[in-house]
Amino acid sequence: MLVDLDNPVIRGLISNLVGEEGMDVIIKMPEGEVTDEEVTIVTEVPLNVVRRTLYILFENRLATYRRERNKDSGWLTYLWKMDLNGVNELLDNELNKLLKNLKTKLEFEDQNMFYVCVNHCGRFTFDVVTETEYLCPNCGEDVTFEDNDIIKHSLKKRIQELENVET
């Protein structure tokens, strides 16, 4: 398997999709084509969880299935195959979304000055508090200037961390 499930970022992403029980399925999943019942036997995870996990993987293009009809009984068998290689693409998308979000936040912090209410009922931009003559729009108390350097610094740090993630 080319996907490193010990990588905390990858593990976190997959675990977000399938949950902790689903993670057990993925870790113990046999290679090649298997039925959901076989997966249950091998992984010792309940059948309903196995099925849910397989469908989630399928929806995210991390598994495929093939139907096979039994010639005698006429019953359809679903043969599943896990392929986590698509996880890198998935991860890229998630990281890009997150990065875009953080950059938008940083831009907002950079371009604004912030004021907080002495009663802690909110954080407001300069534009808002000039309209209310430096009084809280919620409770009417004074607002004080807030130095947002710490927020900007932590956003920058997080952005840098994400840009350094190798996928």
Chain residues that interact with Zn ion, rule: CB under 5 A: 117, 119, 121, 136, 138-139, 141
User: Closest approach of Cβ 127 to Zn ion, in Å?
Assistant: 17
Between 116 and 159, CB nearer to Zn ion:
116
Structure-block tokens of residue 159: 């952005």
Residue 13 and residue 82: Cα distance in Å, rounded?
Answer: 16
* Choice between 34 and 143, CB closer to Zn ion: 143
| Minimum distance of Zn ion from residue 149's CB (angstroms) | 23
* Residues 57/27, Cβ–Cβ less than 8 Å: no
User: Distance between CA 90 and CA 68 in Å, rounded?
Assistant: 29
Task: List the beta strands (DSSP E) in 62-167.
Answer: 63-69, 76-82, 114-117, 123-125, 143-146
Q: Which is nearer to Zn ion, 82 or 136 (CB)?
A: 136
Cβ 131 to Zn ion, closest distance in Å? 15
Between 128 and 151, CB nearer to Zn ion: 128
- Cα–Cα distance between 155 and 135 in angstroms, integer? 28
Q: How far is the CB of 133 from Zn ion (least distance, A)?
A: 14
